[in-house]
């Protein structure tokens, strides 16, 4: 019997946590233009924008091409978005796959107080499946690149 597990990572934000969250809340499809080597396409399948319950289709690259149909759960008060894979390549290796983005604002006088935290909750399809480190690495790389972009602009 398999069991659920999780991995996580966080990136200190130099940019405004509100702007960072706002991008993922309202303009996440623009990642295709910002990181074309990592994201090939983005389309809405259900819903017209990034509302709670919207379903989107992603094509992305992790060293190999993959696709995913993802349902979004949005919690604006907590500045948290959960992406639950409902179809796609990740489900070939995992029975369940959820990615959570939390954007945290802390004490302005403390270094590292503002950060983006990515958590991947998953259940392996069988014991020989590795933990989804490549997915987490993609999220952290995009976070660093996008944060640098926001900070400069």
Instruction: Give 73's contacts (C-beta < 8 A, 6+ positions apart).
Output: 52, 53, 81, 82, 83, 84
- Measured CA angle at 23 (ends 17, 29), to 5 deg: 150
- Least reliable range by pLDDT among 97-101, 102-106, 110-114, 131-135: 110-114
At the topology level of CATH, where does 4-152 sit? Alpha-D-Glucose-1,6-Bisphosphate; Chain A, domain 4 (3.30.530)
Q: For residue range 38-64, what is the model confidence (pLDDT) as tens digits?
A: 999 999 999 878 889 999 999 999 999
Q: For residue range 8-28, what is the model confidence (pLDDT) as tens digits?
A: 999 999 998 999 999 999 999
- Helix axes of 133-152 and 17-26: crossing angle, nearest 10 degrees: 120
> Where residue 111 falls among pLDDT bands split at 50, 70, 90?
low
Indicate yes or no: pTM above 0.95. Answer: no
Q: How far is CA 147 from the centre of its chain?
A: 14
Torsion region of 20: left, alpha or beta (phi above 0 gives left; psi -120 to 50 gives alpha): alpha
Q: Do residues 129 and 94 lie in contact, with contact meaning Cβ atoms separated by under 8 Å?
A: yes
Q: Where are the domains of the chain?
A: 4-152
Name the nearest CA neighbour of 66 among 84, 51, 50, 87.
87
């Amino acid at each position: 019997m398999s069991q659920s597990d999780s991995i996580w990572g966080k990136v200190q934000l130099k940019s405004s946590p509100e702007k960072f969250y706002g991008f993922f809340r309202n303009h996440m499809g623009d990642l295709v233009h910002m990181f074309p080597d990592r994201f090939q396409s983005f389309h809405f399948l259900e819903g017209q924008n990034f509302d709670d319950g919207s379903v989107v289709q992603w094509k992305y690259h992790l060293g190999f091409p993959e696709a995913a149909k993802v349902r979004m759960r949005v919690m604006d008060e907590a500045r948290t978005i959960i992406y639950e894979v409902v179809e796609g390549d990740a489900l070939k290796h995992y029975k369940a796959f959820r990615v959570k983005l939390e954007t945290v604002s802390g004490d302005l006088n403390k270094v590292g107080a503002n950060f983006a935290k990515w958590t991947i909750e998953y259940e392996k399809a069988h014991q020989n499946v590795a933990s989804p480190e490549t997915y987490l690495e993609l999220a952290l790389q995009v976070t660093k690149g996008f944060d640098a972009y926001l900070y400069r602009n």
